[in-house]
Amino acid sequence: MLEHRVMPILTIKNNGLYRTVKYRKPKYIGDPINAVKIFNDKEVDELILLDISEDRKWDNEKVKYYREISEEAFMPLCFGGRISRIDHAKRIFDSGFEKVSLNSSAVENPQLISEIANHYGVQSVVVSIDININIFGSARVYTDLGRKRTHLRAIDFAKQAESMGAGELLVTSIQNDGCMCGYNLETIKQVSESVKIPVIANGGAGSFEDLLDGIKKGKAHSVAAGSYFVLNGPHRAVLISCLSSTEVMKITEI
């Protein structure tokens, strides 16, 4: 069994580092490359970069910038954003990333999961599942940066993604995103218990206890967070931080 991991998430937009609340009102907080350098020094397990830029074009300048980020990173990197074809994934892997995260494209074209997994290995494919809870208490899958509701139940889509070749699932609560109020533990647990591949809890972590709960109560294999690692205090001041060695030990020993 692999050790539990703790992964900061860097949300980038137009080459800047941003944070959102419930996927809305992106707020600029700094330079992604500087953040990567700080996380290098703190020796984090893995970094997840999610590009939420409205521009959906794949051009050489974009890819060049992704390469610049990867060249500064001394830890494994996962990239998500606008990957809708296998050649997009190839350009990301060629830029130095170890994994790609598929979101909207995994719903619209599930076969893409298999294509990338068959070519690069299942360990290289993360399917990102953005969820909201409807009025009936059911976790439904959303795409297009949380703007498009689908008919898919989170558990059903998790099973489908696993069957198509996903190596991991990143499950994010849109309603909890940026609120630092804790994970949606019930949904995380339901998804974790419905598949055999690792599930990464995301969306809502605001304390070390939340991270622990994601693994203990949510049954997630690993935990991720955005705001918790880049914002601090009631005024949400920008402060890049990470876990202490003692906290890391507590996570890995669960």
Q: What percent of the chain shows pLDDT beyond 90?
A: 83
Contacts of 209 (CB under 8 A, 6+ apart): none
Helix axes 86-94, 60-72, angle to 10 degrees: 40
**Residue 46's pLDDT band (boundaries 50, 70, 90)?**
very high
User: What is the pTM for the complete model shown?
Assistant: 0.95
Tokens representing residue 206 in the block: 């605001």
Distance (Å, rounded) from C-alpha 99 to C-alpha 156?
A: 23
> What is the tens place of the pLDDT at every residue in 21-34?
999 999 999 999 99
**Phi-psi label, residue 182: left if phi above 0, alpha if psi -120 to 50, beta otherwise:** left
> What is the tens place of the pLDDT at every residue in 47-85?
999 999 988 778 888 899 999 999 999 999 999 998 999
| Mean pLDDT calculated for residue range 124-137 | 95
CATH placement of domain 6-252: 3.20.20.70
**Residue 2's pLDDT band (boundaries 50, 70, 90)?**
low
> What is the tens place of the pLDDT at every residue in 156-196?
999 999 999 999 999 999 999 999 999 999 999 999 999 99
* Residue indicated by tokens 């939420």: 52
> What is the tens place of the pLDDT at every residue in 186-232?
999 999 999 999 999 999 999 999 999 999 999 999 999 999 999 98
**Residue 236's pLDDT band (boundaries 50, 70, 90)?**
confident
Higher local confidence (pLDDT), 2 or 1: 2
Contacts of 232 (CB under 8 A, 6+ apart): 238, 239, 241
Tokens representing residue 27 in the block: 């707020």
| Mean pLDDT calculated for residue range 82-95 | 96
List, by residue number, the catalytic residues: 130
Q: What is the pLDDT of residue 177?
A: 97
Mode of pairing for the β-strands spanning 16-21 and 24-30: antiparallel
**Residue 86's pLDDT band (boundaries 50, 70, 90)?**
very high
